[in-house]
Structure 1
Amino acid sequence: MKGREGEHWTVDDVLAELRSSGSDTNRAGMARFGIEIDQAFGVPMSVLRPLAKEIGRSPELARELWATGFHEARLLAILLTPAKAMTSEQALTWLEDIGSWDLCDQLTNILARRADSNALVPKLALDEREFVKRAAFALIAWRAVHAKKAPDAEFLEDLELIRKASSDGRNFVWKAVHWALRQIGKRSAQLHGPALALALELQASDDKTTRRVGKEAVKELDSEKVRRRLGLLSR
């Protein structure tokens, strides 16, 4: 690995590192998990995260890496971009290029750390492109974890978006929808009740996908483990 203190990394340096770190075995594994591999080297996140740390935060290099179109270069681009530099405009531009759930989730994980990122949720939820719509609910899920100062009222508003999207049967959408619902319900004792009530409502739906979303959420939110953690059961 290059990465000596103060040494400048170029796009060519990074691509060379990625090529040497990839493998066909890892590419096959990525494909099994529904990740596009046409422009992938087969480098796992266990390698990418230390590499990103070695390179250091660099929004400029990140934009150059994103432009290469290589899958792992784009994952690195996300990791190299500080939350304060991940503007809504940049996130929307990058989402236009995304065709894999891992890129979507990594991008929204960074974006969720911005205080103003909740403003993007309704816009993304109305977009019918699979990974853009997934981004809406991945962003809700990540904000439920990272946005410590956000009011509960924000997430109560998100429940209606979850209800409306619960019948979307596309694999990468419905999974993000129940992820968002579960994370809201686990965020606080005050949100647990409304989230569980919605999950129970969805579980009773005549729609197959909606029932599945509700069932997955109820399974976790109604568990003793979650109730106890939120102080809803005596210890």
Structure 2
Amino acid sequence: MTVAEVMVELAALEDPKVRAVNQQHGDDHGVNLSELRAVAKRLKTQHELARQLWATGDGAARLLAILICRPKAFEPVELDAMLRAARTPKELDWLVNYVVKKHLHAEDLRLTWVDDPDPMVAAAGWMLTTDRVRKQPEGLDLAKLLDVIEAEMKDAPGRLQWAMNESLGHIGIEHPQYRARAIDIGERLQVLADYPTSRGCTSPFAPSWITEMVRRRQTV
């Protein structure tokens, strides 16, 4: 399919109700994600088409591009440009989780992004940092990460604050030697302490989250 043909198909899937819900979360497309994934499954991997779809700037087209691209085929400088062009939380999350984390230069990009003055870019760096805290902590200075979180998370913009809080939570969950300090930082900063949480779900407030996840692991 050509880009024009894909865009016609995406336009046909547009649902005003889906768009209205997505806009409440900062996203700018009106295509049901299950239907979008069905389109991706049919198209299969088409890296050049993915590049062209991303270049349209359309929200649904960009998410589709992420689903049909070949992550390791991007150059690091290309991923950096794509991240800086991402406009919505969903674009940021999918680009980092589905593409950057699979790239051979993910660690180089993490180091480039984590201290970037653009909070959306820095959020991506912290998302990659959380992934390392969970899966490959060797070589990370966890005490230094806690120092940065303690000093900067309270006043960080929303998406960056959320990403830093995820790192704080996973340091406390995965690394017992830092658990007490992670909980103490969360208690003092009170970040996300009032976040609305549905019945049966775990609060993202770090002290509650850490305590509950540790309890679950101990009862397995």
TM category, shorter: 0.7 to 0.9
1:152 maps to: 138
Match for 1:182: what amino acid?
Answer: G
1:73 aligns with 2:57: no
Aligned-pair CA distance for 1:161: 4.3
One of 185, 189, 206 as aligned partner of 1:201 = 185
Taking structure 1 as reference, are residues 84 and 218 closer, same or farther at Cα in structure 2, changes over 3 Å only?
A: same
User: Matched residue of 1:22: which SS?
Assistant: coil
Note the residue ranges of structure 1 that are not aligned, 5 or more in a row: 1-8, 205-209
C-alpha separation in 1, matches of 2:112 and 2:176 = 25
Aligned-pair CA distance for 1:107: 0.6
C-alpha separation in 1, matches of 2:215 and 2:78 = 38
C-alpha separation in 2, matches of 1:163 and 1:91 = 29
Q: How does 1:36-51 map to 2 (within 5 A)?
A: 37=28, 40=29, 42-51=30-39
Q: Is the 8 A contact 1:125 1:161 kept in 2?
A: no
Q: TM-score, normalised by structure 2?
A: 0.81
User: Matched residue of 2:8: which SS?
Assistant: helix
C-alpha separation in 1, matches of 2:45 and 2:113 = 27
Q: Is the 8 A contact 2:171 2:178 kept in 1?
A: no
Taking structure 1 as reference, are residues 234 and 47 closer, same or farther at Cα in structure 2, changes over 3 Å only?
A: closer
Q: Is the 8 A contact 1:91 1:111 kept in 2?
A: yes
1:165 maps to: 152
1:117 maps to: 106
1:211 aligns with 2:211: no
Taking structure 1 as reference, are residues 151 and 140 closer, same or farther at Cα in structure 2, changes over 3 Å only?
A: closer
Aligned-pair CA distance for 1:99: 1.7
Q: How does 1:183-198 map to 2 (within 5 A)?
A: 183-186=170-173, 188=174, 191-198=175-182
Note the residue ranges of structure 2 that are not aligned, 5 or more in a row: 194-203
C-alpha separation in 2, matches of 1:67 and 1:94 = 9
How many pairs align? Answer: 208
Q: Is the 8 A contact 2:153 2:164 kept in 1?
A: yes
The C-alpha deviation readout for 1:67-118, integer Å capped at 9, x for no partner, is 1110111111111223322442221010121121111111110211235312
Match for 2:6: what amino acid?
Answer: V
1:126 maps to: 115
2:13 maps to: 21
Q: TM-score, normalised by structure 1?
A: 0.77
User: Matched residue of 2:85: which SS?
Assistant: coil
Identical pairs, percent: 28
The C-alpha deviation readout for 1:123-152, integer Å capped at 9, x for no partner, is 21222223112211222234556xx4x343
Aligned-pair CA distance for 1:120: 2.0
C-alpha separation in 1, matches of 2:87 and 2:152 = 20
One of 72, 87, 102 as aligned partner of 1:99 = 87
